[in-house]
Structure 1
Amino acid sequence: MTNKDLGKDELLRKLEALQEKCDFLERVVQEVPANIYLSDFKEGVIWCNKTNEQSLGYTLEEIKAMGTMEYMRQIVHLEDLNIPKDSVTHYQEYTGAEYGGMFRAKHKEQDTYKWFMGWAKAFCHEQDGQVKSIICVDVDMSPRMNTEKQLIEALRENLAQKNQLLINRLSKREKEILNLVCKGLSSQAIADQLFLSVHTVNTHRRNIQASLGTSNVADLVVLGKEAGLG
């Protein structure tokens, strides 16, 4: 056998080993007990694994034909639609490695919603560094929530994440003032501590309430404390 033949055989062995590795990884991705999908900010969902198709009832082709937002409206509970939207906003406007939240979703042929814990991470970037697409992993938590206490704790954590995302939209000064409001300081005390006028502090407080959608100080404090302030 010539050196050329030996080299060819070695190349074939490497290709076979690579194919085996690819087949193994493909099986892992397709059979892992979690919904995995790639979402491009311009094109929407561009890939998903078999678990995602089986647990929600829509093939990748159907998802692409519907459009990502219509697909989300079909599967995600109306009260939780902010989760996928906030995930996109998070990567378009804020820094951070990953974003997560709990939401309810259902199979297209079923009426019962299940609780999912979803996590997303930047996957591809544009040349200017902006996130182009994210990889998302959603795990069905329903079988793992055997007690009401577990569900309450999971929902509490999810609420804290939602509120933290809202607070991230505030300016640095607004966050400072909100933190002091959550500590129980009056507008005058905040003004004295930050060397501002009371009028400026009250203006900031009105802007904070408008940004967070709260109608009174009590709701504002609750939201801030749930996000870890105060």
Structure 2
Amino acid sequence: MADNDLESKLQQRIKDLEEELAQTKEKCSFLERVVHELPANIYISDLDEGVVWCNRTNEETLGYSLSEIIEMGGFNYLKEIVHPDDQTVPENSLAHYRHFSGAEYGGIFRARHKQEQEYKWYTGWAKSFSRKENGEVKDILCVDVDLSSRMDTEEQLVAALKDNLKNKNKLLIKNLRKREVQVLNMICMGMSTRAIAEQLFLSYHTVETHRKNIQRKLGTNNVAEMVVLAREAGLG
């Protein structure tokens, strides 16, 4: 009698496990479908290797299968699809998580399908996904959405790009030292090098050095470009 009870309990346990397994498979199948059919490019980017996984939407909108991405290398893939002028967006995202693991990082950039010449605008966000044993970020989870096709009007797209440029310029300004920000703000106000030197009790040569360093850090070619960038970031 005891053996029959034990066998009955064992069979019931097997039945319960089979039901749990079926439910788990159903959930996994559902979640997999959501990930691959979501109207957004989802991918994992390793900080050392670049893109190492992507969903089906990413493959369809950019023309590269995951196996092709792995074969060509995750970083080479990003260089192929992202507009030359926007290469700093994925680079800055990776650099951000090499030194900081907190808030999400986002940006707007252009990318194109491998069989097309025209670039499309995307807005993307990333957050840390997994970490190494020492706590450093290993890879990041990224989500990019085709921005141009989601806008009702061209004015909305222009406004979004202006906001993105403003935020990008603010990040550049944050790389400046406090004294450099002071000097830059005075330059935006139209003050000459000599006037800035007198007001800050600095030598003419020191202010000139600050101007050169500011221009180098902001990546501008002349004072006019430097002033435009600074004003777009809210200075002056």
TM exceeding 0.5: yes
- 1:154 and 2:163 are equivalent in the alignment: no
Q: Tell me which moved more, 179-188 or 137-146.
A: 179-188
User: Given the two structures, how large is their TM-score scaled by the length of structure 2?
Assistant: 0.83
Higher mean Cα deviation, 86-95 or 19-28? 86-95
Q: 1:182 to 1:121 in 2, by over 3 A?
A: farther
Aligned to 1:52: 58
Q: Which moved more, 1:161-170 or 1:108-117?
A: 161-170
Report the counterpart of residue 102 of structure 1 in structure 2.
Answer: 108
| Greater Cα radius of gyration, structure 1 or 2 | 2
Q: Any idea what the Cα deviations from partners look like across 1:93-112, whole Å, max 9, x if unmatched?
A: 45641222222211112222
Question: 2:110, 2:75 → 1: CA distance?
Answer: 15
Match of 1:145 among 147, 151, 158: 151
Residue 24, structure 1, aligned to residue 41, structure 2? no
Match of 1:69 among 72, 75, 80: 75
SS of the aligned residue for 2:212 comes to: helix
Partners of 2:184 and 2:100 lie apart in 1 by: 19
After superposition, give the CA deviation of every residue in 1:209-228 in whole Å (9 maximum; x if it has no partner): 21112244443232123224
In the alignment, structure 2 segments of 5+ residues that lack a partner are: none
Aligned length: 227
Distance 1:215 1:74, change over 3 A: closer
| 1:30-49 alpha-carbon deviations (Å, 9 max, x no partner) | 10000000010122211100
* Pair 1:130 & 2:136 matched: yes
Q: Is the 8 A contact 2:62 2:114 kept in 1?
A: yes
Aligned position for 1:12: 18
- Label 1:123 to 1:225 Cα distance change in 2 as closer, same or farther (>3 A): farther
Partner SS for 2:142:
strand
Please, what TM-score do these two structures have when normalized by structure 1? 0.85
Identity of aligned residues (%): 54
- Residue 187 of structure 1 pairs with residue 196 of structure 2: yes
- SS of aligned partner of 1:225: helix
Q: CA deviation at 1:51?
A: 0.2
User: Kindly tell me: are residues 211 and 145 of structure 1, through their superposed partners in 2, closer, same or farther at Cα, counting changes over 3 Å?
Assistant: same
User: Residue 118 of structure 1: SS of its match in structure 2?
Assistant: strand
Question: What residue in structure 2 maps to residue 83 of structure 1?
Answer: 89
- Distance in 2 of aligned mates of 1:180 and 1:99: 31
Aligned residue in 1 for 2:45: 39
Paired amino acid for 1:113: Y
**Please, which runs of 5 or more residues in structure 1 have no aligned partner?**
none
Measured in 1, the distance between the counterparts of 2:68 and 2:200 equals: 56
Backbone CA RMSD of aligned residues:
2.5
CA drift at 1:26: 0.8
CA contact (8 A) 2:101 2:137 kept: no
Q: Give 1:114's aligned residue.
A: 120
In the alignment, is the contact (CA less than 8 A) between 2:169 and 2:233 conserved in 1? yes
